[in-house]
């Protein structure tokens, strides 16, 4: 079918969230498939998220138009060409912008128990020096004014999913649950290939982007300094073409432990607070997805 003149063909595949739900792993798996071009970082410890379509969120390192579309230039030989930006789901404008510009794109959304989502996101940021040590303080009083640090809003996935359903036909949306991916990644990968109408190509179904911590106190200080510098210079590095050189991944490998850490076990009193906060959210997700999440509601 011919693409209307006012639309473009690529990119036509987007992983749109949620954070800490396996988006990096799925992006890597898709990048291995011969029928798919999927934009990822240069090594297994990084994933570059363009966030180009987020015109309303102040996301770190949002790509400009020239840099973004250069990624997908001459990719017409692939059935799908895509990228993963976890904050597209949270943006009021991203999906609208994509639908106005791209012909019949497909979206993959990964979700998990919102209680675990917000705690894992905080732990990930804390481990990399971007968040304070007191989870409840960060949860109730975010030190950043950015919506991307509003954990209460981040955990309320159902409202964002509802908005997505109102903007895009559901046959172009695939929702995956992280619990299912952990339990049987092969089965979930098959769902992805069926959704994209591509052959069930065997890929290495390993997990990427697990939490890692500094090797010692000194490397912790150096890593926090590096993260701050990387955030402040992201826009310049993107414009100058220095963003995707793999340098960040190499520095992380030097300063951080090679082995991923387990997320700190959530204290009982924190789980109680979060369950009270997100119980109605879990019930809304059950209705939207026509599925029970009883294990998410255990006290």
Question: Residue 149 and residue 131: Cα distance in Å, rounded?
Answer: 9
Class of domain 13-297: alpha beta
Q: What is the pLDDT of residue 243?
A: 54
- Using only C-alpha atoms, the chain has a radius of gyration, in whole angstroms, of 19
**Spans of all domains in the chain:** 13-297
Handedness of CA 162, 163, 166, 169 (dihedral sign): negative
Mean pLDDT in runs of 10 for the chain (299 residues)?
A: 82 96 94 95 68 88 89 93 96 97 97 96 80 90 82 96 98 98 97 97 82 62 68 61 60 64 74 97 98 94
- Residues with Cβ within 8 Å of 99's Cβ and at least 6 positions away in sequence, in order, are 105, 167, 168
Helix residue spans in the chain (DSSP H)? 23-32, 65-71, 94-101, 114-127, 135-140, 151-155, 157-167, 178-183, 185-196, 217-239, 247-255, 268-289
Q: What is the pLDDT of residue 127?
A: 73
- Residues with Cβ within 8 Å of 266's Cβ and at least 6 positions away in sequence, in order, are 115, 116, 119, 274
Q: What is the pLDDT of residue 4?
A: 81
């Amino acid at each position: 079918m011919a693409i209307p003149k006012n639309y473009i063909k690529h990119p036509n595949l987007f992983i749109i969230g949620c954070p800490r739900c396996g988006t990096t792993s799925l992006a890597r798996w898709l990048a291995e498939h011969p029928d798919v071009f999927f934009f990822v970082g240069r090594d297994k410890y990084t994933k570059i998220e363009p966030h180009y379509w987020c015109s309303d969120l102040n996301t770190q390192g949002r790509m400009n138009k020239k840099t973004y579309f250069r990624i997908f230039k001459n990719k017409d030989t692939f059935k799908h060409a895509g990228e993963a930006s976890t904050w597209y789901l949270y943006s009021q404008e991203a999906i609208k912008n994509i639908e106005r510009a791209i012909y019949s794109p497909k979206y993959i959304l990964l979700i998990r128990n919102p209680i675990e989502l917000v705690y894992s996101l905080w732990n990930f940021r804390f481990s990399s020096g971007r968040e304070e040590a007191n989870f409840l303080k960060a949860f109730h009083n975010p030190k950043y004014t950015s919506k991307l640090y509003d954990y209460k809003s981040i955990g309320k996935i159902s409202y964002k999913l509802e908005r997505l359903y109102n903007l895009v036909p559901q046959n172009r949306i695939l929702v995956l649950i992280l619990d299912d991916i952990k339990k049987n990644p092969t089965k979930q990968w098959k769902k992805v290939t069926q959704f994209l109408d591509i052959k069930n190509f065997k890929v290495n179904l390993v997990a990427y982007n697990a939490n890692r911590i500094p090797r010692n106190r000194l490397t912790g200080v150096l890593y926090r300094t590096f993260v701050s510098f990387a955030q402040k210079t992201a826009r310049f590095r993107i414009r100058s073409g220095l963003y995707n050189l793999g340098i960040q991944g190499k520095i992380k490998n030097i300063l951080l432990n090679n082995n991923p850490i387990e997320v700190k076990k959530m204290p009982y009193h924190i789980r109680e607070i979060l369950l009270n906060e997100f119980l109605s959210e879990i019930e809304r997700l059950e209705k939207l997805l026509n599925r029970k999440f009883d294990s998410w509601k255990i006290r």
